[in-house]
């Protein structure tokens, strides 16, 4: 059974102190640190934006029946396909 008691941590992103909540999932950072709700939302938004770019790049590289098949995938399957392409080195990311 998980310990449901609240504990105070320091956010590893923004540095603010915050209290955990029952659904809080430990991010595996150093003891005493975690990710606050504001930074969790911000991180998710950034992750979603990057995934949108990746899916768009895949769409632009496909044609004909491959594009039609990819477009029939639900969002979860498109994301899984994109991650598989990254893992296999079919697609690479670069930041400038």
- Taking the alpha carbons at both ends of the chain, their separation in whole angstroms is 45
C-alpha closest to that of 8 among 40, 42, 28, 31:
31
* Residue 33 in this model has a pLDDT that exceeds 70: yes
pLDDT score recorded for residue 1: 40
Report, as an integer, the average pLDDT of 55-74: 96
14 and 39 in contact (C-beta within 8 Å)? yes
Q: Is the whole-model pTM more than 0.75?
A: no
pLDDT at 29: 61
pLDDT band at 3 (very low <50, low <70, confident <90, very high): low
- Cα distance between residue 76 and residue 39, in whole Å: 23
Q: Is residue 2's pLDDT more than 90?
A: no
């Amino acid at each position: 059974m998980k310990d449901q008691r609240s504990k105070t941590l320091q956010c590893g992103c923004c540095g603010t102190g915050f209290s955990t909540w029952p659904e809080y999932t430990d991010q595996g950072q150093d003891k005493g640190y975690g990710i606050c709700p504001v930074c969790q939302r911000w991180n998710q938004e950034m992750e979603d934006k990057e995934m949108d770019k990746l899916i768009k790049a895949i769409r632009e590289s496909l044609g004909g029946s491959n594009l039609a098949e990819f477009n029939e995938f639900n969002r979860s399957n498109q994301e899984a396909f994109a991650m598989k392409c990254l893992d296999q080195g079919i697609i690479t990311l670069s930041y400038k």
